Amino acid sequence: MKKLTNLLAATALTATSALPAMADKWDMPMAYSASNFHSATGAEFAKCVTTGTAGDIEIVTHPSGSLFPGAQIKRAIQTGQVPIGERLMSGHQNENAIFGVDSVPFLATSFDDAAKLWKAAKPTLETILADQNLTLLYSVPWPPQGLYFKNEVNSVADMKGIKFRSYNNATARLAELTGMLPVTIEAAEISQAFATGVADAMVSSGSTGYDRKVWESLNYFYEVDAWLPRNYIMVNSEVWAGVSDSSKAVITACAEIAEYAGTWRAKEYTGFTMQGLRDGGMTVGPANDALKAELRAIGETMTAEWLEAAGEQGAAIVDSFNSMK
């Protein structure tokens, strides 16, 4: 992977000619910790662009919501407060249901299916973003989502009244349908929220749990492979229009390798973080058959609701995705 990253940086460098007269600094807010694989991929992308444009465009990443909280990043890019940034795609489902296509429960439950779903949805998402003054650069999936709890859970009935970390419409709805109490908590606030009892459960990947050392507060992780949500990197379209063709070529090339490298990391990180949760003292394993069946029934309800909200565009995406299977 290191050789591949270095190769792209060298290739991107050849796309530029003379050194620029003045560098253009792009601050890039990111919601997750610097140690998270999304942030690491973003940092390498930034370095690739900075090197590849010979400093014409210098991208500086700001992880852990240090520049803008996750919920504010997309708006900050749209309005030109920053030229570029990363955000969880489904965090914008309240704007348009299509943004939540990657969080429809049990629609795409593997990396292969997630890639097919992304291929089906990408053209529609690019059109939606274009209308919002945003240009998509790349997207990387999270590992499959599982359920974290402080106490053992064997059925949906066991979830009633539990305070559940919510980060998008899908997770809030999941909480409602299982009788849990949704509490909106950004990724950077997870550790504190669990430590102080603000929340006692969440649905997330092993990556998030490992990065935030949730074993200090939680005890169980159930592998249910509910969905594979995506983070995506976008640039303000007006800023993008002002970028030279040579720099656009570099950024596009760096974005392609970032998507490939980030996806590779997500796959490799899945097993590593599962073991990390075990080493931290958590009980990690599949949910029992009864709980899986209850969750899938809830997933069917959420799928029907999403299709209704997403309309013809959503149905077309799902049809295209199903045709690839």
**Domains along the chain?**
2-142+229-271 (3.40.190.170), 146-226+280-323 (3.40.190.170)
170 neighbors 99 (Cβ within 8 angstroms): no
141 neighbors 121 (Cβ within 8 angstroms): no
Question: What is the chain's pLDDT, residue by residue, as a tens digit (325 residues)?
Answer: 554 445 444 444 444 333 334 579 999 999 999 989 999 999 999 999 999 999 999 999 999 999 999 999 999 999 999 999 999 999 999 999 999 999 999 999 999 999 999 999 999 999 999 999 999 999 999 999 999 999 999 999 999 999 999 988 999 999 999 999 999 998 889 999 999 999 999 999 999 999 999 999 999 999 999 999 999 999 999 999 999 999 999 999 999 999 999 999 999 989 999 999 999 999 999 999 999 999 999 999 999 999 999 999 999 999 999 999 8
Which long-range CB contacts under 8 A does 268-273 form with residues at least 24 apart? Answer: 269/37, 269/143, 269/206, 269/207, 270/143, 270/144, 270/205, 270/206, 270/207, 272/210, 273/143, 273/205, 273/206, 273/207, 273/209, 273/210
Res 275: pLDDT: 96
Residue in 24, 82, 2 with CA at minimum distance from that of residue 248: 24
How far is it, in rounded angstroms, from Cα 144 to Cα 67? 28
Res 188: pLDDT: 86
Res 21: pLDDT: 42
Res 22: pLDDT: 56
Please report which helix (H) or strand (E) contains residue 25, including its range: strand 24-29
Tokens of 119: 């291929």
pTM (predicted TM-score): 0.88
Tokens of 162: 């539990």
Res 325: pLDDT: 82
Tokens of 289: 């058959």
How far is it, in rounded angstroms, from Cα 147 to Cα 187? 15
Question: pLDDT tens digit string along 148-167?
Answer: 999 999 999 999 999 999 98
> Any idea what DSSP says for residue 147?
E
Please report which helix (H) or strand (E) contains residue 265, including its range: helix 245-279
How far is it, in rounded angstroms, from Cα 233 to Cα 42? 9
Residue in 207, 251, 321, 272 with CA at minimum distance from that of residue 45: 251
How far is it, in rounded angstroms, from Cα 119 to Cα 114? 9
Res 106: pLDDT: 93
Q: At what angle do helices 111-130 and 245-279 cross, to 10 degrees?
A: 140
Planar angle of CA 44, 46, 49, nearest 5 degrees: 110
34 neighbors 64 (Cβ within 8 angstroms): yes
